[in-house]
Structure 1
Amino acid sequence: MWADKIIFWLTPQTSSAVAGLLRSSVIYDLPMFLAYLTMIPGMAVFFIRFETDFARSYHDYFGAILGHQPLDTLYQYKREMIAAVARGLYAIVKVQSVAIVVLFLWSQDILVFLGISPHYQALLEVNMISVGLQVVLMAIMSVFFYLDKRRDALNLAIVFLVTNIVGTQITIWLDPSTYGYGLLFSTAITTLIGLARLNQILIHLQFETFMQRA
């Protein structure tokens, strides 16, 4: 998550010295800070859905395995777990999308109210989409950790890191009008890969669970 910020801090044309080795990027830090504030609705849904609904279905499923419940019962709890994941992701996307659309309509007025140049508007809007996707990505990672898929979580983190570095560096080489699109590309690609892998894991959940315990 910090790769793009570090690149902007270390690039001379996009940053300035603050104190000693500490640097800041005025052109990037401010819209990014404002964009991260927009993830509050999505994070609220994340904690409500995944730390309650999904956590409950997760404990029911693995409790049934430890309790030697019939296979039909396991399939029922598996369906409930998948439904909980789907509801959680849908709720995050819905709430975060509404927040982004509303803030898109008022982004220029918000910047003027805060005394910030309207030139930051395009970068702020791109960053808001990136941050919204990061909430979905965090939810996917959370499911991976619940299911003890640490290797998948690590692989997804590596994809995020590499694509964030490459995408951000390319925008630095191109033009200031492209700033922010590196992070957007990174979060979009990583989220799609994460969703595909999560779908695969949930489909074969029984097989992978018992193979791990064998």
Structure 2
Amino acid sequence: MPGSRRSQRQRAVSELRVQGRYGPTFRDVLPGFVGLGLAIGLPLGFLGWMYGQLGILGLVLGVALLAGAAVLLVRWRRASARRRGGIYTPAELATLDDHGLAAAAERLLGRDGWHVIAMPDEGRPRLYARDRGGRQLDVGFRSADEVVDGDAPTGPAPLREAGRPGVDNLIRVVVSRGSYSRTDVLWASRQGGVHLLDGRQLQQWAAGASLDDLGLPKG
């Protein structure tokens, strides 16, 4: 004897859920309904409160405030999405500390197709990156206000990791929001395989140029 119509429907629903074809449950859509309710209810509550306090003038002022907040929210979300995609403005770069700059560089490298691993070195940010062609980068960072005396070497020391072959063949990139002196350039030329990225080039990179466009060795 076949089961009741209700049991048949329950079995059919169970099979569809197992196959992932039944659709979302009430628990799945509840957070969305709550968010929608808050998105509608809070502004209406605010407008009602403003109307109760100031009458029509309060209602007009409340609408203006909500419109301004909506514009700011849209701009913030667009800017956040742009940064996640690896595009930064010069003003945004200027507000970053060393760790924030490293996080931005990680996004820029990911945007350009590099696989990036964060490898902090004694508390200082450091990145290891590899592209599809097998090139490897050791990316260090120098503060814009870091002062180098005389002929002292500048930038992070070479990345060394036991057990990783070819570490000494890494292309070393030193990133700074500032500029490099003649001493810095001479130091880099003596090291071999060191690419200095100054503030102007950093802005170009953050605007969409690739490291290859900025003179990174092809390999």
Bin for the TM-score computed over the shorter chain: under 0.3
- TM-score with structure 2 length normalisation? 0.21
Query: More helix per residue: 1 or 2?
Result: 1
- Is the strand fraction higher in 1 or 2? 2
Kindly name which structure, 1 or 2, has the bigger radius of gyration based on alpha carbons. Answer: 2
Of structures 1 and 2, the one scoring higher in RCO (CA 8 A, sep 6+) is: 1
TM-score normalised according to structure 1 size: 0.21
